[in-house]
Amino acid sequence: MYEERQIKNDMKIVIFKLADEEFGAPIHQVHEILRLIEITRVPRAPRFIEGVINLRGKVIPVLDLRRRFDLPINTNVAQHRIMEVEVEEQIIGVIVDAVTEVISLPVDAIEPPPPMIADIAGEYLTGVGKLPGRIIILLNFDKILTTQEARQIESTSLGAIPGPAGAPGALPNHNQEGD
């Protein structure tokens, strides 16, 4: 009975890394985790939009969370992943440095973000998860973009069709081990 009650008071969180920090998002917002695949750049897209991918016949915009959060760009892409997430009923890809695990985080281990950080981070920072020896910054992907940015991404993905490997604007395919 205690274990059942404990599970109900836990949140399932997907843990990922950005610039040596651990972030987490509710598992219900993450549809799939992919190896970094070919991304086609889209002209005049916001700077944090890496481009678009063709995922099983659907064109999906991909944003780089490092750029979105003004973190230094990491050129070591061997562990990078694209998390397919839902943002305000739109599917997008989000590039992260690595996806490390899925955990059950007790609700009582989550604190609201400190006011100074909350003011800087905006609505997408939902809390801070505290575990022994670890702090996990919790994000809400529904709030990661402003309404204007979400519209801009939607228009970006509607007008873009990924080209073949080596096409102008396409990034190298990092889908193979050892790249």
Chain segment 118-157, per-residue pLDDT in tens: 555 567 888 999 999 999 999 988 887 777 777 776 665 5
Q: pTM for the whole thing? A: 0.77
Top pLDDT among 24 and 89 is at 24
DSSP state string for 50-87: EEEEEETTEEEEEEEHHHHTTPPP----TT-EEEEEEE
Chain segment 67-115, per-residue pLDDT in tens: 888 888 877 778 899 999 988 788 999 999 999 999 999 999 999 887 7
Helix (H) or strand (E) holding 14: strand 10-18
Please check whether the domain covering 2-158 is classified as CATH 2.40.50.180. yes
Query: Among all chains, which residue has been given the structure tokens 């992943």?
Result: 81
Q: Which residues pair with 150 in a beta bridge?
A: none
Chain segment 27-48, per-residue pLDDT in tens: 999 999 999 999 999 888 888 8
Q: Does 173 score more than 60 pLDDT?
A: no
Hey, which of 64-68, 92-96, 169-173 has the most confident mean pLDDT? Answer: 92-96
**Segment 16-27 mean pLDDT:** 93
Average pLDDT, whole number, for the chain?
Answer: 79
